[in-house]
Structure 1
Amino acid sequence: MLRLPEAHRGLFKKPFGTLYASVDELLPRLEGRAVYAVGDVVTHNLLAAGIVPDIAIIDGYTMRIPCTRSPLLQARRLTVKNPPGTITGELEDAIAEVVGHPPGVIFVDGEEDLAVIPLVLAAPDGAAVLYGQPGEGVVLRLVDAAAKQEAASMLSVFVRG
């Protein structure tokens, strides 16, 4: 299991991609791409806009409050444990599985906030990864070599254990 030390939490407050006020603003950027969503609200908003993500990673909460808008997708569902502030091997394995064989929903028992990092690393070039930026909107990260390099750099501040 990888754990994010408290001292490095600030690094993850800034958007890891382009920040949009709403999902509606970025819809044109999603055409022809695999769409991967991290978070209950982003997934719900994509579905409301008529976009069914190829992969959704949710935990049933938004900003630590139970989310009553959890999406009920018709895709295969995997459940994994992932405590707050961590990236477990179980989460990484589930991401690899659904990226290799979409569609899929990963339901996280714990917290899915950091899943965007291993998701970008596992995603094919050209995929669109979306996640919520609390109080600000939605972040879109198009996967390419630079995105993978930045994700690997972010992962380097985690500690094993």
Structure 2
Amino acid sequence: MPEVLRDSLARGFLGVKICGSEESVTNNLLNLLKDCSEAVVIGDFACLKLLESGYVPRVCVIDGVTRRTQAQSIAPKYFSKVIRGSNPRSHVCQGAVEKILEAMREAKQKESTLILIDGEEDLLALPAIAEAPLGWCVIYGLPECGVELVVVDQDTAKSAKKILDLFEEVELQL
């Protein structure tokens, strides 16, 4: 990830910020999700809170960590399918993007998928926004705030693609 993007990505800027207590963030998020055709959730905390409230997103991408500490486990029983991927911290790996695309294709068949990432899932919100069908929503965590909800439209998809274009392609030694 280019260093110049670090602060702006951490603050969120493509969608609606939902800040506050866990309860108020969850309630506001559930209210906004009524206008979304489907949802992709990036992050353990947001996924867990939605599941606890009875909302099962079509796609949840988690890494088992919240704020650099072990996250509460998310039960695979809520999902039709569980797949694994890898994505190192501060990167967006093509393999992880392909897992998200696969899950979004299956979501069109009303399947729900949990993607377990070995590494870090944070930046995977960008390709989710860039590639999700119009009208879907992508939700991701914002540290010290709550979450951001992005309604995917031509403008948000284009903005996410522009940000991704700023990333340098690197060869990872796995």
TM (normalized to structure 2)? 0.85
Q: For 1:107-122, what aligned pairs fall within 5 Å after superposition?
A: 107-122=116-131
User: Deviation above 3 Å: which 4+ runs of structure 1?
Assistant: none
1:94 aligned to 2:87?
A: no
SS at 2:11 equivalent: coil
Correspondent of 1:83 among 83, 88, 111: 88
Partner of 1:5 in structure 2?
2
Partner of 1:20 in structure 2?
18
Higher helix share: 2
Q: Deviations over 1:67-121 (max 9, x none)?
A: 0243433321111110000011111110110111122111100000001001111
Q: Number of aligned residue pairs: give it.
A: 158
> Hey, what's the Cα distance between the residues in 2 that align with 1:81 and 1:101?
20
Higher relative contact order by CA 8 Å / sep ≥ 6: 1 or 2?
1
Partner of 1:55 in structure 2?
59
SS at 1:130 equivalent: strand
Partner of 2:22 in structure 1?
none
> Hey, what's the Cα distance between the residues in 2 that align with 1:121 and 1:96?
11
Q: What's the C-alpha RMSD, in Å, of the aligned pairs?
A: 1.4
> Hey, what's the Cα distance between the residues in 2 that align with 1:7 and 1:25?
31
> Hey, what's the Cα distance between the residues in 2 that align with 1:101 and 1:123?
12
Q: Structure 2: give runs of 5+ residues left out of the alignment.
A: 20-24
Partner of 2:72 in structure 1?
68
Q: For 1:24-35, what aligned pairs fall within 5 Å after superposition?
A: 24-31=27-34, 33-35=37-39
> Hey, what's the Cα distance between the residues in 2 that align with 1:90 and 1:76?
17
Identity, in percent, stands at: 29
> Hey, what's the Cα distance between the residues in 1 that align with 2:166 and 2:75?
32
Q: Structure 1: give runs of 5+ residues left out of the alignment.
A: none
Question: Deviation at 1:17?
Answer: 1.2
**What letter matches 2:120 in structure 1?**
E
Higher strand share: 1
